[in-house]
Amino acid sequence: MNYLADELNFLLDGTVAGRLLSPLGRRLYFPKGIIAQSAEAKQGAHTANATIGMAYHQGKPLTLSVINEQMPQLKPEEAVVYAPTAGIPEARKAWKDRILRHNPSLGAEQMSLPVVVPGLTAGISYMADLFLGEGTPMLLSSPCWDNYELIFQERRGAELREIPFFDVAGGLDMGAFKHALARAAKTGTVRIILNFPNNPSGYCPTVSEADALLAGIGEIAEEGADVLVLCDDAYFGLFYEAACMKESLFSRLAQAHERILAVKIDGPTKEDYVWGFRMGFITFGSLGLQERHYEGLVKKLMGAIRSSVSCSNTPAQYLMLKTLQDERTSAEKERYHTLLQRRYQGVKQFLHEHPAHPHLRPLPFNAGYFMSFRCTGIRAEALRQELLAKHGIGTISFGETYLRVAFSSIDEEQIPEVYQLIYDTARDMGSGT
């Protein structure tokens, strides 16, 4: 094993992070090669910096005219220069400040400096690299985002253990969660991903549900299990009901117990309506970690980034930073949130006026971009195809059971018509017409 990996492992050994590392995670390190040496040169190469593979003229990077014309507000250094592996320092600091603003119960010393990754999907995949090995049990909800299976099972060989998401009363199935946690804890380690608001259901736990879930995780840590909790916060902030838990569970988990390692995976993708930026952040938090441990974990993560994409998109980082600094952003985001909430309310109104359907049962939803139907007596995939072929309505099927509808992309005035067509099509399919 590389001596740099050995040094990081020695630093992390004895902590929850060190005990949770996968074989690949233990092998990862950030090399003292081109990137590290270039960073050193950036600080001290006053005469000439001949380290990095970029082309400069009189101290400025060479750029094509079309790039300058299409991004006139960005300097060449902000548009075409390689970003540091962990991200532009100002962007990382600004995102940490934002996390603290939106999660007031969290302290700055209880979390690492966020690391920039090329999208939330990449962030989840990097966490799988660090903490999942062949056959490692991984807990996740059912239903869940379909990409989890590809990331955890197909890429890393983990053993997926699904937890029923809802109980018969229409809330989180706390009994199922506690049973799954207790079963996994018998091995001494627990790894779970929590996606709130959930994709595909669009459900966010209430404050009381979040309290119960956090208590369950705390109990198994207190009994001696090491717990990794990945908080997939892709849709954070898109809450539509007063009862929703408004802070990320990361804020409580990061200060809950020294045997709990919480990882916040978030970014501006959904929160700031910049889907194509492919930009996310990874933030670590644990009561058992100190600054030097966070630095070691970050270097492990930097090794995963360096060995895959090398660094994330530079213009996206600077544009995100400028949106955080612009005085118009807050009012615009509030306006967009109101627009989405009105669509959410339009769907709720339709469902209220159509309380029963022989083949479609809406799953609970109160946040995010989506809601989903559980299909009975008909196949979700067949319904998806029928809606697309006959009515030009695009939806997503999750297996043969769930049909996801993204009300985020349906204009408010279209909602009654679209949902009526979904209901009518499902009814016709069930009756054989």
| pLDDT of residue 35 exceeding 80 | no
Mapped onto helix, strand or coil, the DSSP state of residue 343 is helix
Distance CA 407, CA 414 (A): 10
Same domain, yes or no: 409 and 379 = yes
Same domain, yes or no: 119 and 257 = yes
| Structural domain harbouring 354 | 330-431
Same domain, yes or no: 93 and 109 = yes
Which region among 45-49, 263-267, 291-295 has the lowest average model confidence (pLDDT)? 45-49
Q: Is 252 within a domain?
A: yes
Give the model's pLDDT for residue 205: 96
Give the model's pLDDT for residue 41: 63
The confidence band for 48, taking pLDDT boundaries of 50, 70 and 90, is: low
Domains identified in the chain, total number: 3
Cβ-based neighbour number of residue 15 at 10 Å: 21
- Percent of the chain clearing pLDDT 70 (strictly above): 93
Task: Record the tokens describing residue 29, joined without a space.
Answer: 């390190």
Same domain, yes or no: 135 and 281 = yes
Distance CA 192, CA 358 (A): 35
Task: Write down which residue in 272, 305, 325 finishes a domain.
Answer: 325
pLDDT in tens, 309-353: 999 999 999 999 998 888 989 889 999 999 999 999 999 999 999
Contact 268, 277 (CB under 8 A): yes
Distance CA 250, CA 228 (A): 11
Distance CA 9, CA 184 (A): 25
Same domain, yes or no: 93 and 214 = yes
| pLDDT of residue 80 exceeding 90 | no
Q: Is 22 within a domain?
A: yes
Same domain, yes or no: 55 and 44 = yes
User: Could you say which DSSP state residue 2 is in?
Assistant: -
| CA angle (192 as vertex; 187, 193 as ends), nearest 5 | 170
Same domain, yes or no: 211 and 255 = yes
Q: Is 299 within a domain?
A: yes
The β-bridge partners of 142 are 164
CATH code, domain with 365: 3.90.1150.10
Same domain, yes or no: 176 and 283 = yes
Q: Is 78 within a domain?
A: no
Helices (H) and strands (E) in the chain, counts: 18, 13
Same domain, yes or no: 295 and 334 = no
Same domain, yes or no: 246 and 395 = no
Select the more confidently predicted residue: 355 or 60: 355
| pLDDT of residue 432 exceeding 90 | no
* 280-285 vs 260-266, strand pairing mode: antiparallel
H or E element that contains 378 = none
